Amino acid sequence: MRWLDMHTLKYDGSLVYRWRAELVDWGDDWLVWYTPAGTPMQLERIGQTFSPDYATVGYVWLRRPYTVASDFTPTGTFRRFYCNVTLPPRLELNRLHIVDLDLDLLVDPEGRARVLDIDQFEQNKQTLKYPPDLETLAWNAVAELQYMAMYGIMPFDGSLIDYLTLIEQSPYPL
């Protein structure tokens, strides 16, 4: 079993969230991680921990400016995709650094996509001094995610539930 220490940061380098996930699959420029329901997530800025009541299988491209998390209820029913627009994530040994650019895309079970946190993006664009090319990168990432979701392109094709099934059937407990 391999673990990843997940670190989500703001553009200025400040740590926002951290949690531990199981690395379940990987290739040269991608990886898949899993967290069971109840996994503690540390909110660094306010010094609190919370534990989501859903399991998550996440897909990360190491050369693309976004990540996709697929959330499942305790009974294994698909709940939603939560996509974060980021700088391309950076993997260092067992730590994954994800620089969050504030824009998010929520895709519901019916495939409807909704862009979230536009106001936060606009505010941090000023506060954290995002350069113009970063703004372009972020909005292009949103458009690419919307396209992928609309046409059911992996991981929006249901393939992440196969990982959940594999994990649940594994003889090796987490």
Q: How far apart are CA 130 and CA 121, in angstroms?
A: 10
User: Is it the case that residue 130 has pLDDT exceeding 60?
Assistant: yes
Q: 52 preceded by cis ω (within 30°)?
A: no
Which amino acid makes up residue 93?
L
Q: How many residues does the chain have?
A: 174
**In this predicted structure, what is the pLDDT of residue 63?**
97
Report the mean per-residue pLDDT for the chain. Answer: 94
CB 155 within 8 A of CB 162: no
The two tokens of residue 116 are 């979230």
- For residue 68, give the CATH number of its domain: 2.40.380.10
Q: What is the pLDDT of residue 173?
A: 57
Using a pLDDT cut of 90, give the percent of the chain over it. Answer: 86
Task: Report whether the peptide linkage leading into residue 155 is cis, meaning its omega lies within 30 degrees of zero.
Answer: yes
Whole-prediction pTM: 0.93
Mean pLDDT, rounded, for 59-75? 96
Q: What is the mean pLDDT of residues 141-166?
A: 94
The answer to the question of residue 173 being in a domain is: no
Task: Give a yes or no: residue 32 inside a domain.
Answer: yes
Q: For 77-116, what is each residue's pLDDT tens digit?
A: 999 999 999 999 999 999 999 999 999 999 999 999 999 9
What pLDDT does 145 receive? 98
Is 48 among the domain residues? yes
Q: What is the pLDDT of residue 47?
A: 86
Number of domains observed in the structure of the chain: 1
- The lowest-confidence range among 12-16, 71-75, 127-131, 162-166 is 162-166
H runs (alpha helix) in the chain:
118-127, 132-150, 159-169
Question: What does the alpha-carbon distance between residue 123 and residue 113 come to, in Å, rounded to a whole number?
Answer: 22
Report the pLDDT value the prediction gives residue 172, as an integer from 0 to 100: 61
Contacts for 115 with CB less than 8 Å, ≥ 6 apart: 103, 104, 105, 142
Residue numbers of the domain that contains 86: 2-168
Structure confidence at residue 168 (pLDDT): 78
